[in-house]
Amino acid sequence: MAIRVTVWNENVHERTDPKIGQVYPAGIHGALAELLGNAGDISVRTATLDMPEHGLNEAVLEDTDVLVWWGHLAHDQVSDEVVDRVQRHVLRGMGLLVLHSGHMSKVFTRLMGTSCTLDWRDNDRERVWCCMPSHPIAEGVPLSFEIAEEEMYCEPFDVPQPDELVFIGWFQGGEVFRSGCCYHRGYGRVFYFQPGHEAFPTYRTHPSVRRILVNAVRWATPARRRGPLECRMVDPAESGAPRI
Ligand code: ZN
């Protein structure tokens, strides 16, 4: 069965800035949907901020194995009810990919529990290094690759220590950044990936970034969804009572 992905995008830059509209004529969500949809084992739907419940009602999330999140200008317009819902589904096993400026999104800060702030600067050349080549997200990706133009994000990045750090970005100005971070939250897997500034067509054109996104979707796909996490009083395990 195909992996069910929902790509969520605030879709603001592309509609309000003609230059960005040219970079992503189908929206960032459109580019990500095309990329993932061509992987062969992924079925994709898209959702945007302006849809009722931002396109993320209960039925959509129930039918989503992995949610991909791109936001920047409108983090504060995302309703807390939807954030609660996304968090609940991640804890039950839904995968979550948070991209680029999504580090400050409500869904990511909720799941991290920290400010998720970082330092930044306008465009720079980036070299991404893989520091965990055995990780499934690094499969088929060179040990290092260059992104000719990318917004500079650097440490300190106020996130919890990643459970697995897969990529580190180095920028021409000398800064470094934890660019690919894996987390486990409840039964869900979360991957934060830094590249993808809206002014450059990275998601449409960069082979390594594209490969990483497909790998990350596969990695974050749950084996199965679980019921809500509960604090249960239970019989002794040695009594033979089944424990699920
Ligand atoms: Zn950016």
The alpha carbon of 148 and the centre of ligand 1 are apart by a number of angstroms equal to: 15
Residue 46 has pLDDT above 90, yes or no: yes
- Reported as a single tens digit per residue, the pLDDT across 60-88 is 999 999 999 999 999 999 999 999 999 99
What is the reported pLDDT for 243? Answer: 79
Assign 38 a pLDDT band (cuts: 50, 70, 90): very high
What is the reported pLDDT for 227? Answer: 79
The alpha carbon of 128 and the centre of ligand 1 are apart by a number of angstroms equal to: 16
Is-contact 193 212, C-beta < 8 A? yes
Q: Report residue 210 as tokens.
A: 């594209």
β strands within the chain, DSSP E: 3-9, 42-48, 66-70, 95-99, 119-130, 144-154, 164-171, 176-185, 188-193
The alpha carbon of 244 and the centre of ligand 1 are apart by a number of angstroms equal to: 43
pTM for the structure as a whole: 0.97
Is-contact 29 67, C-beta < 8 A? no
Structural domains of the chain ordered from first start: 3-113+180-220 (3.40.50.880)
CA distance 231 to 57: 26
